[in-house]
Structures are given as C-alpha cells and as structure tokens.
Amino acid sequence: MQFQTDSPSTYTIPSGDHVVTLRNRKRMDLTSVKTIDRFDQEEFIVRTSQGQLQIRGEELRIVHLDVDKGLLTLEGNVKTLQYDDEDGHSRNILTKLFG
C-alpha cells in the first residue's frame, strides 16, 4: 500500500499497519479501518486493527472511503481522538502512541 503526501515523497505502509495522519486538525487519513460503527457531524466510531477509535469534532464528514483497502479520509474540525482497547478500557491517543 502506498500513501501519498502533499510533498513529492511517497511512503510505503506495510499491509495491516494502522496509521493515522492528521493535517492541521482539518483532514484525517486512517488505514486498517475495519468498520464504521456510527457517524454524524460531531462523532465517528471507527473499528481499526488497533481497537475502536472515537473521533470527535465539528462538521465531520467522509471525504473518501475504500472498504476493500480499509482506507478512510475525514474532513472537519477534529477535537479529540480516543482509542478503546479490546477489553473495553479507554486510552487517549498519546497513551496509545507512547505507552
């Protein structure tokens, strides 16, 4: 799988890796998305390979969705990201990233 940024660089992401890219809190790209459990303009609940991800903000909307490849792109004003572990315990994104 390849991931294109705004710069001429292209990054190769190994299949199955979960990657979240947030640009200026306005555009978010996610990989390894399994399902979208629910969504509206203020909240998305997304199941990823790393657990359930809750995205909250304002005027959120889907720009691109590829279910076969597990890719999702959102736009809007992103305010919070929170993962729930498989056992139901919540952890914020910083805890998830830096343990």
What is the pTM (predicted TM-score) of this model? Answer: 0.73
Q: What one-character DSSP code corresponds to residue 13?
A: -
Round to whole Å and give the CA distance between 34 and 36: 7
Q: What is the pLDDT of residue 15?
A: 60
Mean pLDDT by 10 residues, the chain (99 residues): 50 70 96 93 94 96 92 96 71 60
Residue corresponding to tokens 């978010």: 28
84 phi and psi, to 5 degrees?
-115, 125
Q: What is the pLDDT of residue 1?
A: 47
For residues 61, 95, 34, 5, the Cα torsion angle rounded to the nearest 10 degrees is 60
Q: What is the pLDDT of residue 84?
A: 87
